[in-house]
Structure formats: structure tokens, C-alpha cells
Chains A and B, each alone.
Chain A
Amino acid sequence: MITIDALRYWHLVIDTLTLPPGITSVIGPNGSGKSTFLKLCSGIAEPESGTVFVDDQTPRLTGIGYVNEFPDRNILFSTVKDELASPLRFRFTPCRETDCTVHECAETLGIGHLLDRRMQDLSGGEKVIVAFAAACISRPRVLVLDECDSHLDADRCAWLEGALRASGAVYVIRCTQQMETAATGNFLLYLEKGRLLHAGTPAEVFSRLSDTSFYPLSWRCRA
């Protein structure tokens, strides 16, 4: 379990929260603290007070893959191949093993044709897919995705769902503005103005948002 207690960070306040294994989606208005929450779960930021634990360890002692909401802020290297290899090289993985893993990961995720491309020449969606691949390549225990789907078409979004489930990550925490996507996760959080207003299964949380535009359109159309 991921457990959060008495968390305070800037304007984000969460008294207590437990996230089960599986896919947790985070939704809420712009500026509600979703990205801040993801940064705290991934160890990029540390709480001003309170705690975040991933199975009794702090996020910084846990294997975590993270995709930034700004696609260009994920980029460290000039080519896709080097970008994918970077998490392995930072861990001093032997060169031959790194090369094999990069090619294997690229083929598995269907981006083998991008390996020799320059990162700056990629489309927005391609940048996000490469960032996702780099986040997955060292098979982290936790995957944190900040609006990974905002530049993907419907087929790629469906592909991403499959890739998430095949990633081997015990916990996936993702922020999304696609309510149809949020509806497919195991657990759902709704933040507003730095406060956690609702937490539960998608059915439980969306039932409390039924009179808002956050309620999935496909659910309205089946009602």
C-alpha cells in the first residue's frame, strides 16, 4: 500500500490516504494540486510535513518511473536511443545489457522505428511515448504519469492502458483530464483547491460528481 499521513506541501493538504496496488487515477480542476501530489508520490518533492510511504519505504528509496506533464521537460538527451538508455546508464548497467534492453523495450512498445530520431524532431505524442518507455525501462515498482495521455489519439490511449498493465509496476498513479480513462482505473482521487475531496473506486467517486462536467460522457450516454 501507499500510505499518506498528515501531508502538507505548499497548498496541498491530505490528512490520510491509502492507495491500493493497481492503477490510481487523479482528476480535478486545473491548479488543484494534481501534479504536486504526483511529485510527492514520486519523491521529486518531499513533504513540508507529514509522510508518504510506498510499502513502508519513502519514495526516494523506491524504484519509480516518472513522466512529466511538460513533454519537453522529460528530455535529457538528443536521440531517442540515448534517452531510453539513460535510466540504465545512470545505474551503471553494462553497455551490452543496456543496448539489448533498449532494443527490446523499443520493440515491445512499438517505437523501434524512432530509435535513431532526434528527440526535438518528434511529435508531441511521440515525445510522450518515448518518455513513457524511458520511465518503464528499468521496470520500476511505481509508475507516475502526469497527463501522459494528453497528446495521444484514441488508439494510442488504448495501447497505453495495455502497456501500463503489462509494465510490471505494482502501483500506477496517473493524472488525466480524460474522464473515460479515469473511469477505467482501479482507484480514483478527486482534488480541488489543494484538498482531497473524494477517494474510492471510479463508480464511487463519479457518483459524487454526477452533476459536474467531470462525469464521464460515455456514462451519461448509457444512463
Chain B
Amino acid sequence: MRVLLDHVTASRQSWSLEADGIFTPGIHLVSGDVGSGKSTLALMIAGLRSPESGTVRREEIHSTMLSFQFPEFHVTGLSVSEECTSWGLEPVTAIRQAGIDVVPETPALSLSRGELKRLHLACVFSQDYDLLVLDEPFSSLDCPGKEQVCRQISGRSGGITVIFTHEQCIFPAIDHIWEIVGGSLVECGTVPDALLQWQHAPPLVRRLVGAGTIPESITPEGLREAACRTRG
């Protein structure tokens, strides 16, 4: 199972993106500046947008899910109940799994953005996919919500998970790091070695690496452990 990007390009006016690489089973993190093309790349990997040139091949992938960065884009039901049902879920169970305090009759778009994100992600994680592409899965979530998403990502039974995010602190156990630099997708490598190359590393990771302490992982526990090593 793998996603192969072969000389993939996209462009618009003065902006362009080139991507080459192979995404294998595991958890991949893709970072990049605002407007660098992360969401465009997410769409192409998930097959919802065709590249201008080059090819995206999804080999031995039988099910794909893309979670948009804006949870409101996914809403098809008027109420929370209708929204859950549209995913084939029993509303009360889905609401409980989302950890939100609402009744099923609540209009879906009257939820706060964080509540809507929690509900949407509970629906996404109710099923298993060979390829799961998550565009900004942590935005709008509170800290316990981010930790819950990390557990859900880590608890996937296999497959390829690609996370596009600006998150700075709370990550699952990432296997591979990529970033978009100067209009090109760059593979930084496998964690922990990738942390030495990662230009978009969060400030805390940068600080630890700068002090000569390479975290084994970028989970909160991994970063805390590295910080303890720094202090001796």
C-alpha cells in the first residue's frame, strides 16, 4: 500500500507547487507556511483534485477519507442527529464519542467551531480507511480534544495517515516528516533524524534540537522526556 507522487505540479498566478515522494503506511506530518499549498496537496493526495502535470498513484488503497480543515464544509445534515445519521452513526453514541454536551436536535451549524470539529472527527474516526488525509485536524480543538485526536490517530489499525497541520505542541507519534519549502515538497525523513532537517519545526522542538537534545518522538511525552534530558 502506498501513495506515489510523480512530478506532481499545481500553480496559480505567481504561486506554484511541485511534489515528488512516496507515502507508505504510517503517520506522516506535512508542514509549510500559510498559502504554501498544503490544502491543495491534501486534495491531490486524496484524489479530489487533479494535478496540473504529473501523476498521483494510490496503490492497493481501497478506501480514502479527506477531512477538510473547515469542518463546516462537511455538514450535510440540518441537525446534529441528521449529520450523524448521514455518516451511518447512531446520534447519541456519536455525540458521546465526540465529547460534546448537546442534544441531537441541535442545529449542526449552531455548534461552536470546536464542537463541530469534534463531532466531525468522531464521525471520521468511526470508520477505518486505507488512506486518511487530515487537513488541520487540531484547529479549533481544545487541549483534551487534541489529545483525543492523537489517540485516535495512533489507534488506527494500519494504513497511511497524512496530517497537514500548523499545530505547535500536541502531536501523535509521527513517523515521517515532510514540509513545503520554496514551492517544493521536501522529505525531511523519519523521526527522530528528520527533526534535524525540519525547517518548520515548532519552537519547542527547535529549542530542544538547538540544545543538542533530539527528542525520540514529538508527542508531548517525547518532548517532556527530551527536556528532562536537557536539564540533566
Query: Contacts A30-B114, A129-B34 hold; do A154 and B143 have CB atoms under 8 A apart?
Result: no
CB-nearest residue of chain B to A36: B112
A55→B37 CA distance, assembly (Å): 44
* Cβ B112 vs Cβ A69 within 8 A: yes
Interface status of B12 (Cβ within 8 A of chain A) = yes
4 more A-B contacts (CB under 8 A) besides A30-B117, A150-B140? A117-B13, A151-B69, A177-B140, A217-B170
* Cβ A151 vs Cβ B139 within 8 A: yes
- Stretch in B122-130, B185-193, B219-227 touching the partner: B219-227
What residues make up the interface of B, taking CB atoms closer than 8 Å to A? 12-14, 31-35, 38-39, 69-70, 72, 100-102, 111-115, 117-118, 136, 138-147, 166, 168-170, 200, 202-204, 207-208, 220, 223-224, 227
- CB A25 to nearest CB in B, in angstroms, measures 14
Which of B12, B111, B112, B170 counts the most chain A CB atoms within 10 A?
B112
Range of interface residues on A (Cβ < 8 Å): 35 or more
- Stretch in A81-89, A119-127, A164-172 touching the partner: A119-127
A154→B200 CA distance, assembly (Å): 8
* Cβ B34 vs Cβ A213 within 8 A: no
Interface status of A214 (Cβ within 8 A of chain B) = yes
Q: Mark A35-48, 1 if CB is under 8 A from B, else 0.
A: 10000000000000
CB-CB < 8 A to B38: which residues of A? 123
- CB B58 to nearest CB in A, in angstroms, measures 24
* Cβ A180 vs Cβ B169 within 8 A: yes
* Cβ A152 vs Cβ B223 within 8 A: no
What residues make up the interface of A, taking CB atoms closer than 8 Å to B? 28-31, 34-35, 69-72, 113, 117, 121-126, 129, 147, 150-157, 177-180, 193, 212-214, 216-218, 220-222
Q: Could you say which of B31, B34, B102, B142 contacts A177, with CB atoms under 8 Å apart?
A: B142
Query: Contacts A154-B203, A178-B168 hold; do A124 and B142 have CB atoms under 8 A apart?
Result: no
- CB B214 to nearest CB in A, in angstroms, measures 14
CB-CB < 8 A to A156: which residues of B? 33-34
- CB B180 to nearest CB in A, in angstroms, measures 11
* Cβ A31 vs Cβ B112 within 8 A: yes
A150→B102 CA distance, assembly (Å): 24
24 A–B pairs (Cβ distance < 8 Å), ordered by A: A29-B145, A30-B142, A31-B102, A70-B113, A72-B70, A72-B72, A123-B34, A124-B39, A124-B136, A125-B34, A150-B136, A150-B139, A151-B166, A154-B200, A156-B34, A178-B168, A179-B169, A180-B169, A180-B204, A214-B143, A217-B223, A218-B203, A218-B204, A221-B224
A130→B168 CA distance, assembly (Å): 22
